Structures are given as C-alpha cells and as structure tokens.
Amino acid sequence: MQIQQTVGGVKPSWERYQDAWKELQTLAKFQAASLQHPVPHQPDFQFERTTTSYPAWIKTIASLAPNFLSPSSNDLWNCPDIVDFTLLTKSIELEKSGSSEPFIPTTAKSTHSEATLVQFLGRLQHPPPPTVISEWAKLIATSVEIMAFNLHAPCPPQPHEDDDLVTQGVQALSYYENMKKTLASFDTPTNNTSDTVATSVQPCHRSHATDVLKDFASLIIDVCAGYVIFQTHALSDRPMTNAKLKKKSRQQAALAPTNNPSASSAVTNLTSEAALQIHQESTKKLQTYQGKQNFQPLVYFLVGGVRGLFLLSKNAQTAPVSEFMSFMQAMAFIHEHSQVDQTPEEKIWSNLSAYLVELLRPSFQSPGKIVPIQQKPDPHHLAKAITIDFLNHWKIQQPTSPFLIPETTRQITEK
C-alpha cells in the first residue's frame, strides 16, 4: 500500500515527470556501478566444426539459456525482504493453469494496485518464454559466426629450451595445420548454385543473419531515446497556457533596450508569436515521438542490465508511459528501503556492458543537459562483445569441451 501511495496516478503530469526523473537517475547510478571493465581477452577459445542444421544449432544454444539468462541475487530488483517472490511465483503458476483462485495476472491488464509491479517483476524473475530464448540464441549464433574467424586462432608454439629441432619443427607444422582448419570460419553465405557447388543442400539466407544484430542495436537506440524523452520533460519549465506564454514573451522583449519604440513593438509581437509557434510545434513533435516510443528497453536496462535487454521480445507490445513511470518509481522505492546487501556487478556480460557504457556515457553523465550519444551502436562491435562474453562463460561452464559451430555457412539451413 505504501508503494502504491507513493507512485500512484495514471496521467503523467509535469510534477510526476520530475519525480520519475529523480528515480530514473537513482536506477541509472546503480546500473552504472554494475558495468565493470571487461576481463582481458585471451583468444584461445576452443571451437570444433560439426555437421549440423540451423534448427539444431539454435536448439543447442537455446538449451544453454539457463546458464546465461538466470537472475542474480545482485540484481537491483531482487529484494526478497520487500517483494514476496513466493506469492509472485504462485500468481504466475495460477495464471498458467487457468485456475479460478484469485491472483494478480502477469500477462493481462488488471485494476489491482500492484498489477504493474507484478507484470514487470514476473518477466525479470522467471525464465523467459521460448520465443525470447530463441531470439537470444539467434543473436548468439550470429555473433559467434561473425567473430569465429578472428577468435578461432591457434596460439603460436612456445618451444621449450630443451626441445630439439625436430620437435620444434613438428610443433610449427601442427600450428600451421590448425591454422588451416580455422580458415573454414572465413566462409560467407552465397547464392551461387553453379556446378562447382557439390552439395544437395541449397544455400539460403539464414533467419538469424545480421538482422538480429541490427535489431539489438535498435534496442540500444531505444534506451537513449527513452532517456531523452524523460529528460526533456524533467528539464522543461512547468507548462503554461498560450496566454501566459505570450505574456512572458512580451515581458522579456520589453526589457530589451531600443531607440525606436514603434519598431520595438512590432518586433516584440513578431518575436512573441514566433517563439510561441516554435514551442507549440516542438511540443507536438515531442508528443509524436513519445507516442511511438517503446520505453521497455530503457526500463529493463536500468533495472535488469544487459539481461534486461535480452529478455525483451521484438514482438512484445509496449505499455503507456505512466506504467513505466510507476514501475521505475516503485523499484527505486524498493531499492531504497531494502536491507538486502547488493553488490553491483555484471558477472557474465562484462564486455557488452563496457561497450554500452562507452556508448551511453555522454548522455548519462549529463543529466542536466541533453547530450546525444556520439556514435551509433556498431553491430560488429556488439557481435565481438557478445561472443567474447558468451565464450568466456562457456569455458567456465564447460572447461574441457569445445564450442560446436557448423563446418560451413551452407549447413545452416531452414527446414
């Protein structure tokens, strides 16, 4: 009840934007502390080529999701002393089973006072649905395939001082043999169907091709756009009526010195009308941008970090901005009053986090001034960071097992 009283309300007012902006900054500071410097990368990942199909490869990667997408006790939202996660789990199970018992729905609209909080936390606490896992697996597959040639590089031999020349020669030859094998990673998709292609499998465009990286880059841009919308509202003066705007413009113009009173009057009216028109047009454009903006990437990134972005489905329907404001304010309230000792830390996706920090720093470090990011998210940089983080964690989970990738891109086909 106390949380509801704190963040209650539906229509976003100027005062509510001020409050939401303060809470957004609280969440952003915690998330920034979680984004650590990446672990030094040593390109000694172990790959093994295998004959497989696209569905089989994606299914294999998807089966690893619990090891990569599970929540952490250090997550900002994970405050069991404030939130009854047992009750939340029960509500989710009752909803899935179609039970007649009372529960707060997590996938449907509800008038319950805690409905918004339950819907957002339900996605963060529980395993993502198969569609989200499949999209994540395609993102991983694309990234690994793009980076395989650069990362799958055998280490040069390091002869021991007691090794004779023959041993050193064999070590060098083994090194070159392994180097040849890595060239298979340089294969690229092609529509060539000439006789030289001795295969019964027709090449085709893969559904996990670079579009998934572009979609992920678009999510990052949505983080920035959502941030700017909240920032613009928060930094703007309290809204005034048109009459008050005209009066203010005339008062400001009257303070300006002039040697020609009649000319001054004309300029004052022109300046007043022009300023009012510009303000009205900008306000309408802001409303247009806000109306089509998806605030999910911003909110889930602030509360759930990189994992929060992975949990988003490209087909998920967005919600009114007031719901996102309520959730952000509720999470800031919960985080402030929780006694859980949380250490901000990104354990798995450190390289990706570092790249996001590099992109977002200009904007996030200037809360009192609108500063757009200076460069667009690079799909190739995203692929590199995702691949390194994924394979680093793979090595921890499977220290003696190589990561399997298709022998050629032609084998990754739809069925």
83 in any annotated domain: yes
The tokens of 3 are what?
């949380």
Q: Determine the pLDDT at residue 111.
A: 74
Q: Determine the pLDDT at residue 299.
A: 92
276 in any annotated domain: no
pLDDT in tens, 85-143: 888 888 888 877 777 777 777 777 777 777 788 888 888 888 888 999 999 999 999 99
pLDDT in tens, 351-409: 998 899 888 888 888 889 888 988 889 999 999 999 999 998 988 888 878 788 876 55
258 in any annotated domain: no
34 in any annotated domain: yes
Total-model pTM = 0.78
pLDDT in tens, 11-42: 688 899 999 999 999 888 888 777 666 655 55
196 in any annotated domain: no
Q: Determine the pLDDT at residue 116.
A: 83
**Number of neighbouring beta carbons within 10 Å of residue 41:** 15
Q: Determine the pLDDT at residue 246.
A: 67
Report the share of the chain in percent with pLDDT over 70: 74
402 in any annotated domain: yes
Q: How many domains does the chain have?
A: 1
pLDDT in tens, 30-85: 887 776 666 555 556 666 777 778 788 999 999 999 999 998 888 889 899 998 88
Residue 174, domain extent:
2-156+166-188+206-228+291-411
108 in any annotated domain: yes
pLDDT in tens, 167-186: 887 888 887 777 776 665 44
340 in any annotated domain: yes
